[in-house]
Chain A
Amino acid sequence: MLDLEFMRLALATGAVVGLLAPAVGFFLVERKASLIGDGLGHVAFAGVALGYLLGISPVLTALVAAVVGALSIEWLRSRGGAAGDQALALVFYTGIAAGVVLVSRAGALNVSLFQFLFGSILTVTRNDFWTVLVLGAGALATIAVLFRGLVATVLDEEGSRVAGVPVTRLNVVVAVLAALTVAVSMRIVGILLIAALMVLPVIAANRVAWSLRSTFALSMGLGVSSVLAGLCIAYYADTPPGGTIVLVAAATFAFCAAGSALVRRA
């Protein structure tokens, strides 16, 4: 398996995605916004479609669309209330509807679109790998440097505001990181399933960890193992990588939840 160039690229890219997605997802889950990644996937889909229509890199247009979507969601969220929730629905469905219309205009309702929706092992190029590595490393470094501020904001937004923490700017950082994660993970996991990789390892780690730091580290560990195991299974069983990876992550969650239930009962 490792003799094949495309498989080495898929595994290397997947490893970055497996570390990055839960690291960003951690901040979404802990502030009870688990499904925002899903919505960003919808918006990124419109970006991919626009890329096909304009004949430029779909990854680039997806990144731009996801960042714009994430910033509008963050703006709506900061205003709070039920109207905010409804506005999120508006952003998400507009995204996917625009995607369908644009992609049909571009005449791209075909196999290469499926690769973006569900992920593909075969299509990861050397360029893709370097893009994912550079963006992923940058995102992880940003999280490492701002970790305390991001954690404080997630745990107690108003308290952090009172302490003079730049809460609004940190929330924008999280929104942009989430958009970035969606865009760089498309090739491997696919737009429709990337949110699962941001959420499932974190909620699995939540069941067994004892502190925020251990939750964070464990969720990244579970993320990268799910991706690598999922890609290997996909290679041998000839299944779609995105779906396989997410099923492995879901199984990991079930395992952690059952384990913690047993320990608590004992």
Chain B
Amino acid sequence: MHELTSAGPESVVELEGVSFGYRAGMRVLEDVSLSVGAGEFVAIAGPNGGGKTTLLRLVLGLERPTSGAVRVFGAPAGKAAAGGRIGYLPQRARLVGEAPVTVREVVSTGRLAPAGIWGPLRRADRDAVADAIETVGLTARADAPLRTLSGGMQQRALIAKALASEPTLLALDEPTTGVDAASQESLGLLLEELREQFGVTILYVSHEFGAVEHVVDRIVLVRGGIVYDGPPSGLPGVWHDPSHQHDHGHA
């Protein structure tokens, strides 16, 4: 066994020499190594097409690396691990177009990891669902059809879904896209609280992280590989402005 570089045995997410391409000969990520410790709040940033969503999908086990290894809670990514649970908010959250579905029904589907798929939800699971809805401030609209809610409220319902499993690792992909400024700010506060109170590890993928810049511990800049990994304060100035996402600092 060789020593892991940074967070050691406490690390929740561990990538070692990971390369990945969607087709042979095409590389989205090259030789990426990353270690995220328990309770860390990490923003994964970078230009569109730079591979930040791919990095997250590798962590979630939705893609398999071409080479290298990805471990989450000490087990290979995508394999069930006893050490923790993942809450996941996908990009461009796929709402059900035509189908009527209530906030409570959507959030309940996030409770499958602890509750299993057999039979109806038990009392404790229904309470956890209600708690998640309350956390995002949608209790009054819990039984309203999702399609009657505003974009910001729909996004909050989907965040409640990610929280319903009481995750120890929360993975958010572009959570502020199409969301108004007030909702972005309350999301920042909510994430800060989750980290402080429950020690939740957070991976926050975005090309724009103004809403959370003051609370994140680390920013990881991804552009085919990791081009920066450190505190937000050490970030090259040009990256603070999201309009400057062209060729810069590719080592």
Chain A positions within 8 Å of B, measured between CB atoms, are 29-30, 145-149, 151-152, 155-156, 158-166, 170, 203, 206, 209-215
- Also in contact, A163 and B108, with CB within 8 A (given A30-B99, A210-B145): no
Nearest-neighbour CB distance to chain A for B64, whole angstroms, equals 13
- Also in contact, A148 and B108, with CB within 8 A (given A156-B94, A159-B90, A163-B165): yes
0/1 string, B99-124, CB within 8 A of A gives 1: 11110011011101101011111000
- Also in contact, A209 and B100, with CB within 8 A (given A158-B90, A159-B90, A162-B88): yes
Nearest-neighbour CB distance to chain A for B133, whole angstroms, equals 15
Residues of A within 8 A of B76 (CB): none
Residue among A155, A162, A203 making CB contact with B62, cutoff 8 Å: A162
Q: Is the CB of B109 within 8 A of A155?
A: yes
Q: Is the CB of B145 within 8 A of A211?
A: yes
- Also in contact, A206 and B99, with CB within 8 A (given A155-B109, A162-B60): yes
Nearest-neighbour CB distance to chain B for A1, whole angstroms, equals 37
Residues of B within 8 A of A164 (CB): 80, 112-113
Nearest-neighbour CB distance to chain B for A230, whole angstroms, equals 25
Q: Is the CB of B100 within 8 A of A210?
A: yes
Query: Beyond A159-B90, A159-B110: 17 further Cβ-contacts under 8 Å?
Result: A30-B99, A146-B118, A148-B112, A148-B117, A151-B109, A152-B109, A155-B94, A155-B109, A156-B90, A156-B94, A160-B109, A163-B110, A163-B165, A164-B112, A165-B112, A210-B145, A212-B105
8 A Cβ contacts from B232-247 to A: none
Q: Is the CB of A163 within 8 A of B86?
A: yes
B contact face: mostly helix, strand, loop, or mixed: loop
Q: Is the CB of A214 within 8 A of B100?
A: yes
Cα-based distance from A212 to B104 in the complex (angstroms): 10
Interface: B61 (CB within 8 A): yes
0/1 string, B131-164, CB within 8 A of A gives 1: 0000000000001010000000000000001000
Nearest-neighbour CB distance to chain B for A220, whole angstroms, equals 15
Residues of B within 8 A of A155 (CB): 94, 96, 101, 106, 109
Residues of A within 8 A of B90 (CB): 156, 158-159
Q: Which 7 A-B pairs have the closest CB atoms?
A: A149-B117, A152-B109, A163-B113, A211-B102, A162-B88, A209-B100, A212-B101
Cα-based distance from A170 to B86 in the complex (angstroms): 21
Can you spell out 15 A-B residue pairs with CB atoms less than 8 angstroms apart? Answer: A30-B96, A145-B118, A145-B119, A148-B117, A152-B109, A155-B94, A158-B90, A162-B61, A164-B113, A211-B100, A211-B101, A211-B102, A211-B105, A212-B102, A215-B99
Residues of A within 8 A of B102 (CB): 210-212
Interface: B3 (CB within 8 A): no
Interface: B196 (CB within 8 A): no
Chain B positions within 8 Å of A, measured between CB atoms, are 60-62, 78, 80, 85-86, 88, 90, 94, 96, 98-102, 105-106, 108-110, 112-113, 115, 117-121, 143, 145, 161, 165, 171
Cα-based distance from A155 to B120 in the complex (angstroms): 17
Q: Is the CB of A165 within 8 A of B96?
A: no
Shortest Cβ distance from A151 into B: residue:
B109
Cα-based distance from A179 to B239 in the complex (angstroms): 54
Shortest Cβ distance from B119 into A: residue:
A145
Q: Is the CB of A162 within 8 A of B99?
A: no
Cα-based distance from A147 to B116 in the complex (angstroms): 11
Shortest Cβ distance from B57 into A: residue:
A158
Nearest-neighbour CB distance to chain A for B204, whole angstroms, equals 16
Shortest Cβ distance from A170 into B: residue:
B117
Q: Is the CB of A160 within 8 A of B143?
A: no
Residues of A within 8 A of B118 (CB): 145-146, 149
Q: Is the CB of B112 within 8 A of A160?
A: yes
Residues of B within 8 A of A209 (CB): 100
Residues of B within 8 A of A151 (CB): 105, 109
Shortest Cβ distance from B81 into A: residue:
A164
Nearest-neighbour CB distance to chain A for B251, whole angstroms, equals 31
Shortest Cβ distance from B62 into A: residue:
A158
Cα-based distance from A180 to B86 in the complex (angstroms): 36
- Also in contact, A212 and B99, with CB within 8 A (given A152-B109, A162-B86, A163-B112): yes
Cα-based distance from A206 to B99 in the complex (angstroms): 6
Residues of A within 8 A of B78 (CB): 161
